[in-house]
Amino acid sequence: MTRQTWQDAVNDIEQSAGVATLRQHQLAAVAGALLPTDMPRLVAAARLQTVLGDDIAGESISEVLEVQHELMESLQTTKVRITTPAANRSEARGWIEYLFLRRRQNALRRLEINAGDIVGYPDIEGAYEVSSIGEDGRVYFKGARTGSAWPDRLVVKARAGDVGREAQDVRRAAASRASLLGTTHELSQAKLFDLRPWKVEWQLGVGAIDKLAEVIETASDEKPIQMFLEQHPELLAALLGGRERFAVPRPSLGGKYEPDFLLADTDSLGIRWLLVELETPISAITLRTQNALDKSARRGVTQIQEWREWLQNNLDVARRPTRQDGLGLSDIRPNSEGLVLVGRRHLLGNSSSAVRSGASEQNSIRIHTYDWLVESLRSIIDFVGPPAVNPHLLKPPR
């Protein structure tokens, strides 16, 4: 059973950590044993098991372990003490459980946390919205794959009713964390419904590929390429091989960033996203005198890294359906793979291949020329065989 308020959880712990019950005292009298009036019911249960022994198939009597002695000593405080020394390992376990319950009870009284409050760990970045509190004091966080922690490890970062700027920032971070915890790999009709406006229905055709090649040949920057790809979303969507494919052109990330394209496809593992940045086709990609990316390619990589950071901080908004004032980007992840299209092959420097490979390995961001895009699309359409094994598709990084 879980609770919504700290008071209810404290009361639950009081029930579990209270003194021996009348029934336990009656059983002890029948067995010819004596239970101290201040003995916790958890320890009393262990003593009864020892006294009754074979009559109830209790465990054999064994000496208290050294590690149990050390743990009991470390858990005691000036107000919470062991009043009757443990006679065996079973009683030691009872005392340890009792001491832990009292510690969590005191922590809940100190924190006074309720469902909806935002908590975190001291000196560690991250925030979590409290979903409920267990009868043993365990604090559960919002999210389908629920995380949790003991209250004595937590601090309060914002209350449910706080409305200040700092509280809003903390709550937004907690919502993103909850969304990440809530990720499942299962597709649902609701997720597909949210992506429906961007579903690519058209098949890849030779005519569109040839026209794209012409646009690239005459373009002095990325703008005409962007416009043509928006008119023919099947060109970029063809790079992914899922059962259903989606292309989102120039979505606004909180009014701060505007990716050129967000691509997605679906398979048995769920939804996979690819972040696409277009840069000028007249870039050499790498510097002539250094083994480093040039300004345009470097800007493309930086853009994708900034989008990822925004997604990390606003994941709940990004994934929330548009009908609930979100972006509708179902199951998008902050570490989604990136693709930068920049430059032409004849402009490449000698170090281009090594530099681009390094960027891909470090950041999971592929850097390719527009010639690569055209050639990949032609190879995709010419391939004869099962689509899933087409070697020209962009496979997920290993």
pLDDT for 144 beyond 50: no
Q: Which of 67-76, 199-208, 294-303, 380-389 has the lowest mean pLDDT?
A: 380-389
Nearest to 329 by CA among 247, 394, 256, 395: 247
174 vs 36, more confident: 36
The pLDDT of residue 277 is 97
377 vs 57, more confident: 377
Long-range contacts of 301-305 (CB under 8 A, 24+ apart): 301/338, 301/340, 301/359, 301/363, 301/365, 301/367, 303/257, 303/259, 303/277, 304/275, 304/277, 304/338, 304/340, 304/363, 304/365, 305/363, 305/365
pLDDT for 185 beyond 60: no
C-beta separation of 140 from 133 below 8 A: yes
My answer on whether 259 and 378 are in the same domain is yes
Whether 1 maps to a domain, the answer reads no
Q: How far is CA 305 from CA 217, 284, 292, 309, in A?
A: 29, 21, 17, 6
The dihedral sign for the CA sequence 159, 164, 169, 175:
positive
Nearest to 202 by CA among 238, 175, 166: 238
15: which residues sit within 8 A by CB, 6+ positions away? none
Domain boundary among 95, 111, 127: 111
Q: Which of 136-150, 209-223, 253-267 has the lowest mean pLDDT?
A: 136-150
Whether 394 maps to a domain, the answer reads no
pLDDT digits (tens, 9 = 90+) for 215-224: 999 999 999 9
**For residues 33, 39, 45 and 46, what is the CA-based torsion angle, rounded to 10 degrees?**
-80
Report the alpha-carbon distance of residue 329 to residue 180 in Å, rounded: 13
288 vs 81, more confident: 81
What band does 356 get if pLDDT is binned at 50, 70 and 90? Answer: low
pLDDT for 348 beyond 50: yes
In the chain, the amino acid numbered 398 is R
For residues 235-254, give the mean pLDDT: 91
My answer on whether 273 and 377 are in the same domain is yes
Whether 289 maps to a domain, the answer reads yes
Which structural domain, as residue segments, surrounds residue 33? 6-111
My answer on whether 326 and 197 are in the same domain is yes
Domain boundary among 180, 203, 225: 180
Report the alpha-carbon distance of residue 27 to residue 100 in Å, rounded: 26
The pLDDT of residue 222 is 95
Q: At what angle do helices 6-17 and 89-111 cross, to 10 degrees?
A: 160
My answer on whether 106 and 124 are in the same domain is no
What band does 208 get if pLDDT is binned at 50, 70 and 90? Answer: very high
Q: Which residue has the tokens 């971070």?
A: 173
The pLDDT of residue 174 is 76
What band does 291 get if pLDDT is binned at 50, 70 and 90? Answer: confident
Bridge partners, 148 (sequence order): 140
Q: Which residue has the tokens 């769920």?
A: 270
My answer on whether 375 and 240 are in the same domain is yes
The pLDDT of residue 119 is 87
Whether 174 maps to a domain, the answer reads yes
Nearest to 274 by CA among 308, 315, 314, 312: 308
Supply angle C-alpha 375, 376, 381, rounded to 5: 100
Q: What pTM was computed for the model? A: 0.60
My answer on whether 217 and 261 are in the same domain is yes
Write out the H or E segment, with its range, that includes residue 316. helix 315-319
Nearest to 154 by CA among 112, 102, 190: 112
pLDDT digits (tens, 9 = 90+) for 61-89: 688 888 888 888 989 898 899 888 888 88
The pLDDT of residue 392 is 84
The pLDDT of residue 359 is 58
Whether 196 maps to a domain, the answer reads yes
My answer on whether 27 and 93 are in the same domain is yes
Share of the chain above pLDDT 70, in %: 89
pLDDT for 131 beyond 90: no
What band does 9 get if pLDDT is binned at 50, 70 and 90? Answer: very high
Query: What b/e readout covers 170-190, taking b as 16+ CB neighbours within 10 angstroms?
Result: bbbbbbbbbbbebbeeebeee
Report the alpha-carbon distance of residue 158 to residue 147 in Å, rounded: 18
What is the token pair recorded at 290?
């250094």
Whether 23 maps to a domain, the answer reads yes
200 DSSP 8-state letter: -
Whether 396 maps to a domain, the answer reads no
Bridge partners, 277 (sequence order): 340
My answer on whether 85 and 204 are in the same domain is no
The dihedral sign for the CA sequence 71, 75, 77, 82:
negative
My answer on whether 237 and 130 are in the same domain is no
pLDDT for 54 beyond 80: no
The pLDDT of residue 37 is 87
Largest CA distance in the chain: 99
Tell me what the pLDDT averaged over the chain comes to. 85
The dihedral sign for the CA sequence 181, 187, 188, 190:
positive
pLDDT for 238 beyond 50: yes
What band does 242 get if pLDDT is binned at 50, 70 and 90? Answer: confident
For residues 260-273, give the mean pLDDT: 88
Q: What is the CATH number of the domain that holds 356?
A: 3.40.91
For residues 34-45, give the mean pLDDT: 88
My answer on whether 175 and 313 are in the same domain is no
For residues 159-172, give the mean pLDDT: 81
What band does 123 get if pLDDT is binned at 50, 70 and 90? Answer: confident
216: which residues sit within 8 A by CB, 6+ positions away? 225, 281, 344, 370, 371, 374
My answer on whether 194 and 308 are in the same domain is yes
My answer on whether 271 and 370 are in the same domain is yes
What band does 35 get if pLDDT is binned at 50, 70 and 90? Answer: confident
Domain boundary among 180, 199, 225: 180
The pLDDT of residue 367 is 92
Number of domains comprising the chain: 3
